[in-house]
Structure 1
Amino acid sequence: MTLITLLVLATFVVLKVLLVVVPMRESFVIERLGKFRTVFQPGLHFMIPFIDNVAYRHEIREQVYDIPAQHCITKDNIQVEIDGLVYLKVMDPQLASYGIGDYRNAAINLAQTTMRSEVGKLSLGEIFAERETLNETIVREIDKASQSWGIKVYRYEVANISPSDHVVSTLEKQMVAERDRRADITLATAEKEAKINMSEGERQEAINHSVGERQRRINIAEGRAQEISLLAEAQATGIAMVAEAINMPGGNKAIKMRLVEQFVGELGTILEGADISVLPSEMARVKGIFEGVDQVTKQFKS
C-alpha cells in the first residue's frame, strides 16, 4: 500500500514537471537552458524537466493602466494638471519579454511624455474643445514607438484636466465678464429693435394719417364739385324757366313786378339797419334844393 502511494506521488510529481497548463487569458514564454525556445498558448503543453522553464507570463487580454496626473504647460502658458488612461494588449509575447524590460512602465512613461508634448502645442480652450484629437495623437505616437515591444495601444483617454486655482478664478471672472457683455449686447439689440419698431409704427401712422387726410380732401373736393355742379344745374334750370316765363304772355310785366317787390324789400332792409338817412333819388334832389336855399338865407343874414 505504501509502495503504491509512493508510485502515485512520484507519477504526480513527474506529470507536474512534464505538463504545463496555460490558462485561457495568458501565454507563457519558454526558455531552454536560458535561451528562448517557444511561446505556449492557452492549453496543455509538455516540458523537459530541469531544461525547459517558464521565463515569462503575459496577460493576453486588453489591459488598462492609469496614467498618473502630471503638470503640463499649454501654448498660452497656463499650467494644468492632466491624467488619463491607456488601453493596450500584448500581441507578441516574445517581443514583450525581450524587446523591453517592462512594457507597462514604458507605455505609461511614453504616454506622459507624449501628452506633455501635445498639450504644449494647444491652448487651454483647444485642449477642452479638441480632446478627441489629443487622444488620437497620443495613441498614434505611443503605437508607433511600441511596435518593437510586441504590444498594441488601442486607445488613450484624457481623464481629468485641472487648471490651477488661480487660472480657475481668472476663467470664472472671464466667463462672468463674457456673460455681462452678452447681456449688454442682448439689451442693446432689444432696445435697438424696439426703437426700430416704434419708428416704423410712427412712420406707418404718419402714412396712414396722410392717406386719410388726402382721401378726406378728395372727398371734400368731390363734394364741393358735386355741390357746385348741382347749384349750376339748378341755376341753369331756374334761368331757363325764367326765360321761358318771360316769353309767355304777361311774362314781362310779371318780371318787372317781381323786380319792384325785391327792390322795395331790399330798401326796407337797408333803412332799418343804416345809421344815415337813405332816400330815393328824387327825394334826394328835393332835399338838396332845400339845403341850398337854407345856406343862401344864412349868407344874406350875415
Structure 2
Amino acid sequence: MLASFTFIFLGLLFILLKLVLIVPMREVCVIERLGKFRAVLQPGLHFLIPFIDRVAYRHEIREQVLDIPAQSCISRDNIQIDVDGLVYIQVMDGAKASYGIEDYRRASINLAQTTMRSEIGKLKLSQTFSERDTLNETIVREIDKASDPWGIKVLRYEVRNITPSENVIHTLEKQMEAERQKRAEITLAQAEKESTINLSEGERQEAINLSEGDKQKQINEANGRAKEIAILAEATAQGINMIAAAAEQPGGNQAIKMRLMEQFIQQAGAILNSADVSVVPAELAKVEGFFAGVGEVTNTMQGGKKWI
C-alpha cells in the first residue's frame, strides 16, 4: 500500500514538473509542440502540456562577450600582422537564434574573423593603429548586417591586439630610431641656428653701442674744445682790453715797450741756447727798428695817440 502511494506521488510530481515551467529572468525558452515550433516563452511562470510540449532551446538574453582568436592578416602595404579582438552580441529573437543558424556564437566568431581580415586589407599598417575606432565601427556594421537573419544584435567590436611579425617589428624599430635621430639633428640644427643669430645680434648691438659711445665721445671732445677756444678767446679779448686800458694811463706806453723788449730778449736767448748754430744780429739798427714798430702798434691800439 505504501509502495503504491509512493509510486502515485512520484508520478504526480513528475507530471507537475512537466506541466509547470519557470523561465529565469536572464533567459528565453523556445517551446516545441510535437516537434513543431510553438512559442518563445519570456521570463516568468508558464504551463505546458505534459509529454506534448517541450523546451527545445534556451537562450541567454544578456549581452555576451565572444573572444575572437588571433589570426594572420595582410595590410594594404603587404605587411603581415596578427589581430585579435572581442565581439559583443545579444539575442533579440529566440526563434531565429534557434532555427536560423546552427550555432550563432561560432558563426559570429567566424564572421568577425573574415570581416576583420577584409577590413584590415583595406588599410595600411599605420592606419590600423590610428584608425582603430573607424575599423571597429566598420566591422560592427558588416557583422550586424550579416547576422540579422540569426536573430542576434552585434552591439560593438573591439580590436584588442595588433601585432606585426618579428621582421616588421625590427624594421619599424630601425625606422623609429632613424626618425628620432632625424628629430634630434633638426633640434640641434635649430639650436645652433638660434645661437648663431643671438651671437650675431649681440655683436651687432655691441658694435652699435661702441659706435654710439665713440660718437658721443667725439661730440663731448668737440664741445670741450669749442668751450676751451671760447674761453681762451674771451680771456685773450679781456687781456687785450686790459692792455689797451693800461696803455692809456700815464707811462703805459713805455711799460708796454719795456715788457715787449724783455720778452724779445728772453725769446732770443732761448733760441740762441737751443740752436746748433750761433745767431748774431747783423745790424743792430734792425732791432731798434723793431721796437719802433712796436711803439707804432701800441699807438694804434690807443686810438692814434703818441707818447711824448
| Amino acid paired to 2:247 | I
Q: Distance in 2 between matches of 1:281 and 1:241?
A: 36
Deviation of residue 254 (structure 1)?
A: 1.2
SS of the residue aligned with 2:88?
A: strand
Q: Deviations over 1:205-236 (max 9, x none)?
A: 11111111111111111111111111111111
Hey, what does 1:206 align to over in structure 2? Answer: 207
Structural mapping, 1:1-302, within 5 Å: 1-282=2-283
Deviation of residue 22 (structure 1)?
A: 1.7
For structure 1, which segment, 216-225 or 268-277, has the greater mean C-alpha deviation from structure 2 after superposition? 268-277
| Amino acid paired to 1:194 | S
For structure 1, which segment, 256-265 or 4-13, has the greater mean C-alpha deviation from structure 2 after superposition? 4-13
Deviation of residue 18 (structure 1)?
A: 1.2
SS of the residue aligned with 1:158?
A: strand
Deviation of residue 278 (structure 1)?
A: 2.1
Q: Distance in 2 between matches of 1:150 and 1:33?
A: 24
Deviation of residue 13 (structure 1)?
A: 1.0
Q: Distance in 2 between matches of 1:33 and 1:174?
A: 68
Q: Deviations over 1:122-145 (max 9, x none)?
A: 111111111111111111111122
SS of the residue aligned with 1:146?
A: helix
Q: Deviations over 1:139-183 (max 9, x none)?
A: 111112222211111111111111111101100111111111111
For structure 1, which segment, 78-87 or 31-40, has the greater mean C-alpha deviation from structure 2 after superposition? 31-40
Q: Distance in 1 between matches of 2:171 and 2:277?
A: 104
SS of the residue aligned with 2:278?
A: coil
Deviation of residue 77 (structure 1)?
A: 0.9
**Alpha-carbon distance change, 283 to 239 in structure 1, aligned in 2, over 3 angstroms:** closer
Q: Distance in 1 between matches of 2:80 and 2:278?
A: 119
| Amino acid paired to 1:28 | C
For structure 1, which segment, 3-12 or 262-271, has the greater mean C-alpha deviation from structure 2 after superposition? 3-12
What TM-score results when the alignment is normalised by the length of structure 2?
0.88
Q: Deviations over 1:45-103 (max 9, x none)?
A: 11112221111111111111111111111111101010111010101101111222221
SS of the residue aligned with 2:283?
A: helix
Unaligned 5+ segments in structure 2 are 287-308
SS of the residue aligned with 2:38?
A: strand
Q: Deviations over 1:226-281 (max 9, x none)?
A: 11111111111111111111122222111111111111111111222223332234
Q: Distance in 2 between matches of 1:33 and 1:9?
A: 24
Unaligned 5+ segments in structure 1 are 286-302
SS of the residue aligned with 1:81?
A: strand
Deviation of residue 283 (structure 1)?
A: 5.2
Deviation of residue 282 (structure 1)?
A: 2.5
Hey, what does 1:298 align to over in structure 2? Answer: none
| Paired residue total | 285
SS of the residue aligned with 2:276?
A: coil
| Amino acid paired to 2:216 | Q
Hey, what does 2:301 align to over in structure 1? Answer: none
Deviation of residue 284 (structure 1)?
A: 9.4
| Amino acid paired to 2:49 | I
Q: Distance in 2 between matches of 1:67 and 1:172?
A: 28
SS of the residue aligned with 1:65?
A: strand
Q: Distance in 1 between matches of 2:174 and 2:260?
A: 104
